[in-house]
Copies of this chain bind each other. A is one copy, B any other.
């Protein structure tokens, strides 16, 4: 079987350089280009790239994808900054490139994606749902984007299922004790030296609790998700948003 020809854009970044190594190490993939800022996109065509892993910046991503889709190259995109306008533009380009596929994934960690998915599926069966996210103390925002997104997904699932508000008899509380309120789901942010990136979803019903915890120790955890995206995007024309769509979760 011939190998899939893969290029990495943003190859000198922290995640990009890891992606270069991951593609090189995969038996079924061949790294044909690894471009950094300033390198010419034409190289992708000359190298015969079939899929591009796009790990650059919001400044560069649109030009890169425009070029790729005009040349029939699929894309796996980790770069952020997607607005409705940008997504509409991307869809136009995809319409003009039949057969080409693009995966945009806000999170390539399979563990994080599964955590969100399971939380969303389980939420309507329990009276209570809260999130604790724990990170190193150098993090600037609280809660984490992943935790806020997970809380929204839980809230949506509960609303759709017609769940009543969560029980909470708190009458006197110190400011902040009950966490941040994200669409009715309390989210608690711990910042502790020695930690990296962790998230715990707690669901509780009469007589039982279900806890889903994701511990992320290194950005190497993004690699299996990126490689899975590369292998699947070539058979998935059009736009796919979210790695969960490639996990065959039923």
Contact = CB atoms under 8 A, between A and B. Distances in A.
A125 B208 contact: no
Interface of A: 109-112, 114-115, 118, 121-122, 125-128, 130, 132, 134, 137-143, 148, 166-182, 186-196, 202-224, 247, 249-250
A128 B174 CA distance: 21
Contact of A209 (B111, B141, B181): B111
Nearest to A167: B137
Given A121-B249, A171-B141, A221 B195 contact: no
B211 A189 contact: no
Given A176-B178, A177-B188, A206-B224, A193 B127 contact: yes
A249 B250 CA distance: 8
Q: Which 7 A-B pairs have the closest CB atoms?
A: A207-B221, A207-B218, A194-B204, A192-B204, A174-B180, A208-B221, A177-B180
Contact of A139 (B170, B247, B250): B170
A30 B45 CA distance: 57
Most chain B CB atoms below 10 A, which of A115, A209, A215: A209
A208 B146 CA distance: 15
B128 A194 contact: yes
